[in-house]
Amino acid sequence: MAGRIVHTHKPHFMALHCQEFGGKNYEASMSHVDKFVKELLSSDAMKEYNRARVYLDENYKSQEHFTALGSFYFLHESLKNIYQFDFKAKKYKKVTGKEIYSDTLESTPMLEKEKFPQEYFPEVGEWALRWAGGSPGLPDSGPPPRSALTLKLIIDQRFEKVAYFVFGDFNFRLDSRSVVETLCTKATMQTIRAADTNEVVKLIFRESDNDRKVMLQLEKKLFDYFNQEVFRDNNGTALLEFDKELASENDEKIVTYDNIGPNVCMGDHKPVFLSFRITPGAGKPSAHMHKCCVVQ
């Protein structure tokens, strides 16, 4: 599906940002990452991108460093003189060829990485990279918006102020109330609260007749509906009418923001993309227009 976005928008510079890279079960799933990376780099959609940088955090055994992040950057062959910032040398270096950083991720000076406090989110972190093309160049590719660490990287006094784009774990929810009302049209709701805080911890929906059969139970991270075929039948398209939180605000000449696979029910973690044009050297007679596309 991402390949279709590339063919449609034909970006000159493309950034692909991944959260929880390797899946929920890292030990079992991380073995598939290498295959995914190789297939992506060699795919038909990427054949006109002759330079690439890939950053993968695969060291799930190191909890003090592991962020479960993955970032891919592709530069179209028509783009000339693209540079990436070296945070140690504090200068931009020309980008050539294709490079993958995984085992050497902690030592590479081409990105700054921060780990979120483990007592809050054990597998969450953030990193930042800087790119330039001509003058004033491409914007920074920022970290996911989890904490004040994001602001720390943006306002860092060591480096010049530049434009930032921040990408993160954006959750898109169904119109939950309408979904529940549709699934439980003939049900009554029972509310269960915590004894110490009086906080609602569980909702139970029972049929009004039929011996008050339980139809739906809702808890934190639980949506237990008695008839799972509703979600499997025709790939859940019957519920697509409630999947409407993402309202595209598009101007074809300036920016396009949308999700990937709008006709497929994918739950709360939807791949989204932002396509826009930037002008290096804006205001100068020699300015050229380049197109960017970011996939989340």
Return per-residue pLDDT of the chain as tens, 296 residues.
667 888 888 899 999 988 877 777 777 777 788 888 999 999 999 999 999 999 998 888 787 788 888 899 999 999 988 999 898 998 889 999 999 998 878 889 998 888 777 666 666 778 888 888 754 444 445 444 444 556 666 666 676 666 677 776 655 556 788 889 999 998 999 999 999 999 999 999 999 887 889 999 999 888 999 999 988 888 778 887 886 655 445 445 567 878 787 777 665 567 888 888 876 654 344 445 555 655 54
Q: How many domains does the chain fold into?
A: 2
CA distance 144 to 70: 11
Residues 94 and 204 in one domain: no
Q: What distance in Å separates the CA atoms of residue 128 and residue 86, rounded to the nearest whole number? A: 11
DSSP assignment of 35-75, as one string?
HHHHHHHTSGGGTTEEEEEEEE---TT-TTT----EEEEEE
pTM for this one?
0.66
Residues of the domain holding 121: 2-172+245-295
Same domain, 56 and 102: yes
The whole-number pLDDT of residue 147 equals 47
**Residue 140: Cβ within 10 Å count:** 20
- Residue 67's CB: how many other CB atoms inside 10 A? 25
Q: 162 and 185: one domain? A: no
Q: Are residues 9 and 155 in the same domain?
A: yes
- Kindly report the backbone phi and psi dihedral angles of residue 100, in degrees, each rounded to the nearest multiple of 5, phi listed first: -120, 130
Q: Which of 159, 40, 147, 149 is nearest to 92 (CA)?
A: 159
Query: Do 188 and 153 fall within a single domain?
Result: no
- Are β-strands 98-101 and 164-166 bridged in parallel, bridged antiparallel, or unpaired? unpaired
Q: Say whether both 133 and 52 belong to one domain.
A: yes
Residue 274: both structure tokens together = 């932002």
Same domain flag for 135 and 190: no
134 plus 249 within the same structural domain = yes
